[in-house]
């Protein structure tokens, strides 16, 4: 028995030592780099494209990239991500040599779809990737980011590189990988196909599931429906005061939004108001730029999903 315990102790010690060595190597190695590519992606520009692009950027990019005082997309410190991810700094999109002006349209499309920057660096998990976004919506975003809108006023503000935690480095080495760049054009569903259009908006564009599923670390941007607790809520977050809070269950279970009418849902998404008039807590953003028809499509899509029994406390 003593011999067995001694051997077991030695094996356990060896395993612990290997884990320590592995963690040290990953900590030193950091987030991996990959081959940077520049696919052909032609972006034209007109007033309608710029209008649609501003709408998308305002609801996808601005929350993180908008300077709190400058009202320019010059990035800065991300305070509400939680300590588990390390120190997070959001890029200055307007910087002449490191921001959007330093990218070609193809490089921007490649970054937004795969997560790989023009330098080969991999964008960590806090930057969303859009492997399923339609080409037209992608063109709208890139066209707007190249415009002379006041949000894009050039700024030489220096934003330091993020300092990802060991958890993020491990995830980026073993779990999160660049997504494949699509081989064919991605087309947007027609709005008349309400459920398909709602799924596209919710999953591929605004990525509502990324907050409203179980955890950021188990989300799957390439196959959103495979995310753990898909739309059942529970992702740990922080309110405006840094207090812990969990995302809501927005499936049509009694513990979710079964009591919401379509009008209630539109009011909640666009104006941040619950059916009883109480405000929805931060960090839930108000998507007031969405049309009622778009929010109604999301509502119709959510009604088709499995109902998850998950009471958020």
Cα gap 168→262, rounded to integer Å: 38
Q: How confident is the model at residue 2, as a pLDDT?
A: 57
Q: pTM of this prediction?
A: 0.90
As given in the structure block, the two tokens for residue 179 are 């997504």
Averaged pLDDT of the chain: 90
Looking at the chain, list the stretches that DSSP marks H as alpha helix, in order from N- to C-terminal side. 2-29, 47-60, 62-65, 105-114, 135-145, 166-174, 194-199, 209-212, 262-271, 292-302
Dump pLDDT digits (tens) for 126-166: 899 999 999 999 999 999 999 999 999 999 999 998 888 88
The pLDDT of residue 26: 63
What distances in angstroms separate CA 298 from CA 114, 172, 173, 194, 251, one per listed residue?
25, 31, 34, 8, 11
Residue 19 has pLDDT above 60, yes or no: no
Selection from 148, 226, 182, 250 nearest residue 39 by Cα:
182
Instruction: Give pLDDT, residue 17.
Output: 47
Confidence of residue 10 (pLDDT cuts 50, 70, 90): very low
Under the banding of pLDDT at 50, 70 and 90, the label for residue 5 is very low
State residue 174's pLDDT score: 87
* CB neighbours of residue 31 within 10 Å: 18
Residue indicated by tokens 């499309």: 109
Judge whether 250 and 242 are in contact, CB under 8 Å. Answer: no
Query: Using alpha carbons only, how large is the chain's radius of gyration in Å?
Result: 21
Report pLDDT digits (tens) over 224-271: 999 999 999 999 888 877 788 999 999 999 999 999 999 999 999 999
Question: Which pLDDT belongs to residue 248?
Answer: 96
pLDDT above 60: residue 1:
no
Apex 81 CA angle, 78 and 82, nearest 5: 125
Q: Judge whether residue 291 has pLDDT over 60.
A: yes
**What's the pLDDT band for 313 if we cut at 50, 70, 90?**
confident
Average pLDDT over residues 49-76: 95
In the structure, how many helices (H) and strands (E) does the chain have? 10, 6
Instruction: Give the span between the Cα atoms of 292 and 268, in whole angstroms.
Output: 11
Dump pLDDT digits (tens) for 91-122.
999 999 999 999 999 999 999 999 999 999 99
Domains, the chain: 47-174 (1.10.760.10), 194-302 (no CATH)
What is the per-residue pLDDT across 174-226, written as a single tens digit (0 to 9) for each? 888 999 999 999 999 999 999 999 999 999 999 999 999 999 889 998 999 99
């Amino acid at each position: 028995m003593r011999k067995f315990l001694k051997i077991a102790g030695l094996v356990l010690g060896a395993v612990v030592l290997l884990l320590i060595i592995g963690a040290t190597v990953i900590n030193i190695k950091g987030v991996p780099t990959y081959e940077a590519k520049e696919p052909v992606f032609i972006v034209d520009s007109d007033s309608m494209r710029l209008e649609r692009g501003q709408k998308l950027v305002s609801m996808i990019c601005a929350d993180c990239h908008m300077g709190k005082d400058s009202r320019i997309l010059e990035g800065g410190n991300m305070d509400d991500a939680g300590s588990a991810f390390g120190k997070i700094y959001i890029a200055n999109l307007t910087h002449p040599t490191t921001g959007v002006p330093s990218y070609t349209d193809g490089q921007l499309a490649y970054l937004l779809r795969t997560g790989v920057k023009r330098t080969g660096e991999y964008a960590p998990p806090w930057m969303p990737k859009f492997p399923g976004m339609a080409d037209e919506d992608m063109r709208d975003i890139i066209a707007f980011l190249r415009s002379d809108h006041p949000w894009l006023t050039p700024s030489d503000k220096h934003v330091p590189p993020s300092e990802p935690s060991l958890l993020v480095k491990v995830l980026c080495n073993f779990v999160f990988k660049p997504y494949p760049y699509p081989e064919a054009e991605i087309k947007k569903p027609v709005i008349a196909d309400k459920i398909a259009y709602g799924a596209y908006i919710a999953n591929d564009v605004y990525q509502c599931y990324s907050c409203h599923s179980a955890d950021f670390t188990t989300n799957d941007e390439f196959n959103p429906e495979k995310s753990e607790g898909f739309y059942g809520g529970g992702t740990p977050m922080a309110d405006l005061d840094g207090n812990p809070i969990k995302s809501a269950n927005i499936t049509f279970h009694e513990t979710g939004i079964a009591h919401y009418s379509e009008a209630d849902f539109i009011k909640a998404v666009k104006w941040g108001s619950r059916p009883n008039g109480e405000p929805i807590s931060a960090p839930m953003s108000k998507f007031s730029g969405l049309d009622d028809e778009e929010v109604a499509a999301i509502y119709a899509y959510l009604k088709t999903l499995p109902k998850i029994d998950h009471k958020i406390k």
